[in-house]
Structure 1
Amino acid sequence: MTAPKTGAPSPFRQPKAVWAVAFACVISFMGIGLVDPILPAISSDLRASPSQVTLLFTSYLVVMAVAMLVTGWVSSRIGAKRTLIAGLVLIVVFSALAGSSDSIGGIIGFRAGWGLGNALFVATSLAVIVAAASGGFSGAIILYEAALGLGIAIGPLLGGALGGISWRGPFYGVAALMSIALLATILLVRPQPRPARRTSLLDPIRALRHRGLLIMSLTALCYNWGFFTVLGYAPFPMGLDAIHLGLVFTGWGLMVAIFSVAGAPWLQRRLGLARTLYGNLTLFSLTVFVIAAFVDQRVVLIVAVIVAGVFIGVNNTLTTQAVMMVAPVDRPVASAAYGFVRFIGGGLAPFAAGKLAERFNVHVPFVVGACAILVGVGILALGHRDLARAERNQAAVDEHARLGTRDAELAEATEAGTGTST
């Protein structure tokens, strides 16, 4: 009889298909921070106000949020691999079109199409990685968040480098890299069995009736309001060129990546899920208050933005794990419902920040963002019991994976934890 495996499996020992999807995730998430270094350049060249330029975030994220509601419906009918491919094709096409546009309205519209492709890809990619990855559930989430953090880190660097030549360069760069990711997905990702039951268009909305998922989603909406206020509006008061903005947000993205992979698990082991999230969100809010107070002091602003990446990285990993463990619905449905709510907050925040700065002053958007994060802490406290249950479920599933338990038994452990079939 073979002895069970007792060593903790590495999240980075994965099948080729998982690496193909992870690579595509890196490029996909590059699209979030890619435009940061070129926002002032676009504003200047196309004679657009900062609030108009922030619509590049709003159109992308709001369309992405709404489209999350249909991702499960699509993938349950055409399969996960075809959904990934459809999303990647849309990203390639619309990023290239955005680079070819000569008007701010055109770029905003093409970014909306890009957001549609990203919704199909992002919601499905998480489910594919969780299903195909070795090393347990936590390992799959860490790998996914590592891809997110790496993409966010590289995006501003590439945006700054190419944006120093032309603001069109970053858009064409994403189109080229996503074409490579599309080819890798076609060649390396195997078609997965379709679910026994097709997902309804209303399933993600119905899923939000579950208390734990709703609380986590509303918390994420508030947190993302602060997150995308910093990401979408902080480049304007910095007064830097594209290359230096790229370097600043690359430092920020590296903090996101490091603390997604290493910091979040370490803190959770020592403090527990609930205390880590409460403390992390509170510190993030304080950091945004510092940005609000010293937004006209360039050095303080740059340091505070980079430090904010620490708290964003921790929150991304732990909140995603909690959502997947607390939701008593299929993981793709949970991902779609959660993505819909949180990206609504992320999409509206940059545009609201631009309008608040125009109406009042540059300090106000960050004060509002910091207060939104604190509201999220209060909402999260309402779900304290749900956080405890999520942590127990996660520990049980990871223990099964550590011992080399078969997939069927692992699924059974998950079902026992959530009280429903997944």
Structure 2
Amino acid sequence: MVRESVSDCTILARSIPPDHPVSVHAARVRGPRRLEELLTAPASPRTTDGPPEAGASSGGLDRGVLAVAMVVVLGAIMSILDVTVVNVALRHLSEDFKTDLATIQWVATGYTLALATVIPVTGWAASRFGTKRLYIISIILFVAGSALAGTAWDAPSLIAFRVLQGLGGGMIMPAGMTILTQAAGPQRVGQVMSIVGIPMLLGPILGPILGGYLVDDVSWRWIFYINVPIGAVAVVLAARILKKDQPGKGEKLDFLGLVLLSPGLAALIYGLATGAEKNDFARPDVLATTVGGAVLVLLFALHALSKRNTAPLIDLRLFKRRSVAAAAGTMVLFACAFFGAMLILPLYYQSIRHQNALHAGLLLAPQGFGAMITMPVGGKLTDKLGPGKVVLVGLATVVIGVAAFAMQITPDSSFWGLGGALFVMGMGMGMTMMPTMSAAMQTLQHAEVPRASTGLNIIQQVAGSIGTAFIAVLLATQLKDRGLPSGGDQAQQAAAFAKLPPETLAQVPHKMADAFQTTYWWSAALLLLAFLPALFLPRSKPENPAADAPMPMH
């Protein structure tokens, strides 16, 4: 276990830029004791009326903040990677448990609904019990669910254990974001947000690759067992590195808000996902679930904004601030367009270019490489220039990348050309997503961070669900307009294609490519709309004389 901990921490330490003072110390690590001293060392002493200590110049991240960031990234990457890894294995799970895809799909859907149910309570729990305790408990729940899922004996047991995973996984990201934001302070929030973005990048890239390898060459059970050692290391490091909790006293849970929001989000996301899957939002069950969820969310909003509610589950009054509202609006439009577009990328490579899941995952890697280059730079520029300027450049870069990708989509496009467009898209994402989140966090007080982090995570989850549903339905409509089957599982689609006349069958690849191309143009248009709220993001760093001083941890 010690060796695994040292190995993981050494890898993370090497991710620090070579010119950063911490990297010099990390390079000299010669054993577990030396590494432990490095990671558990407190932040350099700072004052607000004198020059910063070495290693913290120009608002840089000191050793204490970097150590906290390593802990947060380790937990977050585990939970986000798990989603894409499991998606690759669904068909194999269907065969192994001898059940249909509609049933086994609940392995993914149940996890997502558990996320939606538990995220709203994260802000209250962080304030009431402390972020360190909440973070460790969430990882333990996630790891327990992973270990049990690996032992599942049938589909219902696997679905139940995935729900337990989701209850833990839903709290990891907002709790981690709160910990980092409070540790770094407002003027360095851009840099820490760029660190939080690492798992968001690696999940979609490494997930299909890792999932394909484990399912094909090892066992599907290891897509869950692999979380156990990673989670154990994360818990040990969190217990040693994160500061002692100072939870609030006597804060009551907004029970009515919880009753309205958690089921409302779950119903809304389930309705959107089911409608997209069936390509029919007018079905009575889909319509009732979606509308019912939306009504519950609306009732929660009215309840949270009521003057009589002094401690709402999610403080929606924060969104009256220009920076928070602009960040939320930008995030909604960006998540709808970008996450939706990412959903159909593997489908293009698999259905038209006939690549397997592993190769499709490798072909998506240029996007991650592009984001890895710009995300640290975008974080530093956000803290120095203000998020508004960085996000506008990032959005423009994303639009250029999506447009370049759309123009190239054919049945025999050059993989190099498509990879170049994905690289540009990734560069734009690295300068858009986390700087947008930073715009909201920079203006918040210490006590406001947990609920704002929770609210922004909910917005991202819902916007991503809306975007994937919108893009999926749009693609299905485009395929249908061209006389191609667009519904059912793979076997049903194969049977439908077999019934097509020969002259139509010969044109299938070109018609499918044309449908994908039109869909991506719609995604680019939606991204252009994100410029409207982005224009209202702050274009200067926050004026706070004590901003460089790390905030006290919960």
Q: Is this a same-fold pair by TM over 0.5?
A: yes
Partner of 2:541: 392
State how far apart, in whole Å, the 1-side matches of 2:405 and 2:110 are.
25
After superposition, the Cα gap between the structure-2 partners of 1:53 and 1:124, relative to the gap in structure 1 and judged at 3 Å, is same
Give 2:140's aligned amino acid.
Answer: V
1:227 aligns with 2:338: yes
SS in 2 for 1:194: coil
Query: CA 1:291/1:33 → structure 2, altered by over 3 Å: closer, same or farther?
Result: farther
Q: Which range moved further: 340-349 or 325-334?
A: 325-334
CA shift in 2, pair 1:101/1:355, >3 Å? farther
Matched AA of 2:538:
L
Kept in 2, the 8 Å contact 1:324–1:331? The answer is yes
Task: Check if 1:26 corresponds to 2:77.
Answer: yes
Q: Distance in 2 between matches of 1:386 and 1:53?
A: 42
Structure 1 CA distance, aligned partners of 2:369 and 2:100?
Answer: 30
Contact 2:104 2:155 in 1 (8 A): yes
Verify: 1:319 aligned to 2:433, yes or no.
no
SS of 1:347's partner is helix
2:63 is matched with: 13
Which aligned pairs between 1:58-69 and structure 2 lie closer than 5 A? 60-61=111-112, 63-69=114-120
1:259 corresponds to 2:342: no
Cα deviation, residue 383, structure 1:
6.0
Structure 1 partner of 2:51: 4
Asked if 1 retains the 8 angstrom alpha-carbon contact of 2:211 and 2:223, the reply is: yes
Q: Give the distance between the partners of 1:81 and 1:109, measured in 2 at CA.
A: 27
Give the TM-score taking structure 1 as reference length. Answer: 0.76
C-alpha distance 53-321 of structure 1, shift in aligned 2 (>3 A): farther
Q: 1:262 to 1:350 in 2, by over 3 A?
A: same
Q: Note the 1:24-103 alignment, pairs <5 A.
A: 24-35=75-86, 38=89, 60-61=111-112, 63-100=114-151
The one-letter code matched in structure 2 to 1:331 is V
Matched, 1:287 2:438: no
Tell whether the 8 Å contact from 2:111 to 2:165 is kept in structure 1 after alignment.
yes
**SS of aligned partner of 2:63:** coil
Name the aligned partner's letter for residue 244 of structure 2: P
**Alpha-carbon deviations, 1:270-328, whole Å to 9, x = none?**
7x633432342244244334545516446255544444222222212211110112457
Paired residues for 1:143-222 under 5 Å: 143-146=195-198, 148-150=200-202, 153-165=205-217, 166-195=219-248, 198=251, 200=254, 201=257, 202-204=312-314, 206-207=316-317, 209-212=319-322, 213-222=324-333
1:140 aligns with 2:192: yes
Alpha-carbon contact 1:207-1:333 (below 8 Å) kept = no
**Gap regions ≥5 residues in structure 2:** 1-46, 258-311, 480-511
1:47–1:118 Cα change, 3 Å = same
In 2, the alpha carbon distance for the partners of 1:68 and 1:31 equals: 17
How much does 1:77 deviate?
A: 2.3
1:344-399 deviation line (CA, Å, top 9, x unaligned): 121344455445444542565775566456446535524634423xx331xx34x7
* Residues 154, 253 of structure 1: 8 Å contact kept: no
**Equivalent in the alignment of 1:119:** 170
Instruction: Name which of structure 1's ranges 283-292 and 79-88 shifts more when overlaid on structure 2.
Output: 283-292
Q: Distance in 2 between matches of 1:153 and 1:92?
A: 22
1:417 maps to what in 2?
none
1:273 aligns with 2:387: yes
Partner of 2:454: 336
Match of 2:529 among 357, 378, 393: 378
SS in structure 1 opposite 2:243?
A: coil
AA aligned to 1:278 is: L
Pick closer, same or farther for the CA change 1:158–1:3 going to 2, 3 Å: same
Find the aligned partners of 1:288 and 1:209 in 2 and give their Cα distance. 30
Contact 1:96 1:175 in 2 (8 A): yes
User: What is the alpha-carbon distance in structure 2 between the residues aligned to residue 162 and residue 332 of structure 1?
Assistant: 36
**Match for 1:244: what amino acid?**
H
Q: Mark the structure with the bigger radius of gyration.
A: 2
RMSD value, Cα: 4.1
Residue type at the aligned position of 2:436: T
Report the CA distance between 1:103 and its aligned residue: 7.1
Measure, in 2, the Cα distance between the counterparts of 1:370 and 1:99: 41
Residue identity matched to 1:145: G
Contact 2:367–2:424 (CA<8 Å) still a contact in 1? yes
Bigger mean CA deviation after superposition, 69-78 or 139-148: 139-148
Secondary structure in 1 aligned to 2:314? helix
The equivalent residue for 2:356 is 241
TM-score normalised to structure 2 length = 0.60
Q: Is the partner of 2:442 in helix, strand or coil?
A: helix
With over 3 angstroms needed to count, the CA separation of the structure-2 counterparts of 1:249 and 1:379, relative to structure 1, is closer
Unpaired runs of 5+ in structure 1? 412-421
CA deviations 1:63-99 (Å, max 9, x no partner) are 4345322101222222212211221122223334555
Report if aligned partners of 1:255, 1:310 keep a CA contact under 8 Å in 2. yes
Question: Aligned partners of 2:474, 2:359: CA distance in 1, in Å?
Answer: 26
Query: When the two structures are aligned, how many residues end up with a matched partner?
Result: 401
CA apart distance, 1:40: 6.8
Report the CA distance shift for 1:392/1:55 in structure 2 as closer, same or farther (over 3 A). Answer: farther
Cα deviation for residue 157 of structure 1 reads 4.3
Could you report, residue by residue, the CA deviation over 1:123-168 in whole angstroms, capped at 9, with x for unpaired residues?
Answer: 1111112223489433433333345445555444433432442444
Distance 1:215 1:104 in 2: 43
Aligned to 2:64, what secondary structure does the other structure show? coil
